[in-house]
Structures are given as structure tokens and as C-alpha cells.
Amino acid sequence: MSALSDYRRREESISYSAEPAGMGLEQELMTVNMGPHHPSTHGVLRLILTLEGEMVRDVKPIIGYVHTGIEKTAEQKAYWKVIPVVERMDYLSYYFNAYAFCGAVEKLLEVDVPKRAQYLRVIHMELNRIMSHLVWLGTSCIDLGAIGVWWYCFREREQVLDLFEMSSGQRMHTRYFQVGGVIEDIPRGWTERVKRFTKTMRERSEQYSALLDRNEIFLQRMRHTGTVDEETLLGLGVTGPLLRATGNPWDLRKAAPYCSYDDFRFRIPVGTEGDNYDRYRVRHAEILESCAIIDQAIDGLPEGPFITEDRKVALPPRHELATSMEALIHHFKLVTEGFRVPPGEVYHPIESPRGELGCFVRSDGSSKPARVHMRDPSFVNLQATAAATRDTYIADLVATLAMLDPILGGVDR
């Protein structure tokens, strides 16, 4: 079947059951494309819309335009070479992608990650969460016509990327997380710079509130639009800020703590109605909670190694290569072949900026994974598009899609 006939089949499969709106006069239904090249789809997403005037009667998301075969690519590489591949799925949550995979492999290897490495991971992931929410808020405000907020959000985003560059050498897709810990300890002065950033971020967050919370146009576009109840979202498997906006406090950092998250005190922001305004308020509050977690992690950062001392998993220190034959052998084997993982399978879920991000890994005992599969929250959450936008205005569709925060790199993979 050709691509054109496949699209036509999908368009003709749209059913219409809603009552026609407005003065009792039946209007003609029109099927139009929104995307895949549209600035408000936040990626290469195609929406087949059934319109009745300005009202959206049905929505069908069409995905797959940026399918990259990342999971299959990962199955052809040694475990330590998979990390830079999976980082490029959800390109705004690369630390989370890397940790989901590394955590799964560490469970199979039964490797103990040093406490210092766990805290460093938490700091970087929470910085990544802040950065992701800043991109979401800035681009969402552009969709609503508030371009000034975009500039302010990206001003703070640049500071986060500067911190990533200082600790890892890269601004994006850093490959800082390794199986067993992190690739390198933080440089001198980095923690002080992070503390200055969290202080600034709290102040700037209040500025965002001053710009938006009393803006009548913003409030009209957000309140009582795109509402989806908790039961519907649970039935679809939706997690993250979308679910918490309905009042459900499900967050894996609290429900199933990992990476020493149970060492920190923080709250889970929730909404009441589950509309676009609640989604905005939840993510805005999460920025402040991430700042609190980062400050606690820095204040309590333990001394010790930043990566496991198991030489069959982690590369030996460079200074040992000139004096130790064993270190040289381990280095050669790890670089050329990689480490072998005992046979088994495991699923490792974590809380990403968009919800539950899980990595399933099956090992056959070789140095390459037999199967890698990622549960990306954007893919699951995209199911809520129709429920949130059916029988609303086209303008509300644009705002609601922005509040859903889908990342198509993670959806298509």
C-alpha cells in the first residue's frame, strides 16, 4: 500500500458523532492537516483534524516522521557505546535517557554505584529537568503570542547548559553518566556556580509568574481549556505533570525512590482541575522543587569515588596504565570488546520531566544487549491529545498541544 493511499485510509476512518454546534444549522465537516511542518506541533507531528467551522470535532495524531531506529541501533553496540545513542531520543532529557539505560544495566550487573556518583546524577538530572521545563515554557508562550517569555526562559537555559559544559565538556548530549557512576568528578568551583544559579532561578521564576499569572490573555487561554479527568488519564497510562495536574501525586521519585532521592525533602506539586492552567502551575512549581533538591544534594555531597571501582565495568584511572599491567589489560578489553552482562532482563523506570521513562534491557550474556526498549512518556501522553482537544476551538488545540509537551524524538525513536 502506497503512503498516499495509507493517509487516505486514515482520513476516511475518522468517525463523527458529535452534535453540530451553533444556531441549529449543520455545517460541513472539513478534514485538514496540521503539521508535520507546523511551528505549533513542537516537532514533526502531523494531526489530522476534523473541523466544523472553528470547532475541532476529532483529532488523529500521525507519528513516525523522525523514526531513527535508536532501539535497534543500541542492540548492535557494546553496552557502553549505547549511552550516546539513547541520549538522542528525548533530546531535552538526555541525562534521564542515559540514566534509565545505565540504571537497567547496573541492576543486571548488580553494581553498587558510589554515593557521590548518585548525588552527582541527581544534581545533573534536576538541572536537566529545569532546562526542559524552561524550553517548554518558552516555546509554549510563543504559541500563545508571548514571545518575551521565550527570551527570558532561554536566558536561564543558557546558564544550565554552561554548567553542563563545565562539568562534562558538552552542552547537550553530554555522555556524562556511565555504567557504575559518572565519567569524571566535578571541577573546582562548579558547586558554587550551581548554587548561584539556583538562587537566580528562584528569582527569575517569580518574574515568570509576574508576567503570566495576571495576564488576562494568558489566563483566558489556559483556564478551563484542555481539561482531562484523572480516570481518563490513568486509563491511557499518562504520567508526569499531566497526571499530577488532576490532583494525583504520582511521582516515581517518591513512589519508588531511586538514586538516593529518598535522602532529599521535596514536595510533589499537584493541580485540582486538570486543565492547561494546572499543567502550567505544576511545571512551574517543579522548577522550584528541583532547585531545592539541587541545593540539598550539593550541601550533602559525600566524599569518595565518582564511579565504581570494579575494573571489569569501569575504565581504570589513566595514571595506572603506565604502572599496572592489570589496568592496561582491563582498559584494552573494555575499549575493544566492552564488559559482559549476565543473562537476564530488567525494567528500570524513572521520573523524567514528562513522566515515567522506563528502559527494558534483556541480556544474553554477551557484551551487546539482546533487546533494548524504552517506554517514552511523550509517546504515551500523546494519546491524551484527542481527549483534551475534542469539541474545542482550534486556538485551544494549539494551547493544549503546547501544555502536553510532546517531544517527537522520544515518540518516534
DSSP per position, 107-128: HHHTPPPPHHHHHHHHHHHHHH
CATH code at position 330: 1.10.645.10
Within-domain flag for 34:
no
pLDDT category of residue 22 using cuts at 50, 70 and 90: very low
Within-domain flag for 19:
no
Count structural domains, the chain: 1
| Per-residue pLDDT tens over the stretch 186-242 | 999 999 999 999 999 999 999 999 999 988 999 999 999 989 999 999 999 999 999
Contact 248, 232 (CB under 8 A): no
Range of 390's domain?
61-412
Q: Whole-angstrom Cα distance, residue 223 to residue 283? A: 15
Q: Whole-angstrom Cα distance, residue 39 to residue 22? A: 30
Within-domain flag for 192:
yes
| Per-residue pLDDT tens over the stretch 184-201 | 999 999 999 999 999 999
Contact 118, 259 (CB under 8 A): yes
| Per-residue pLDDT tens over the stretch 140-153 | 998 888 888 999 99
DSSP per position, 276-306: HHHHHHHHHHHHHHHHHHHHHHHHTPPPS-S
Strands (E) across 153-306 are located at 177-178, 181-182
Q: Whole-angstrom Cα distance, residue 333 to residue 271? A: 52
- Cβ atoms within 10 Å, residue 319: 9
Evaluate if residue 100 carries a pLDDT over 90.
Answer: yes
Within-domain flag for 262:
yes
Determine the residue type at 4.
L
Within-domain flag for 49:
no
Phi-psi region of 205 (alpha: psi -120 to 50; beta: other; left: phi over 0): alpha
Within-domain flag for 168:
yes
Of 83, 57, 398, 341, give the one whose Cα is nearest residue 221: 398
Within-domain flag for 221:
yes
Eight-class DSSP state of 307: B
pLDDT category of residue 4 using cuts at 50, 70 and 90: low
Within-domain flag for 20:
no
Contacts of 279 by beta carbon, 8 Å cutoff, 6+ apart = 226, 241, 242, 245, 271, 403, 404
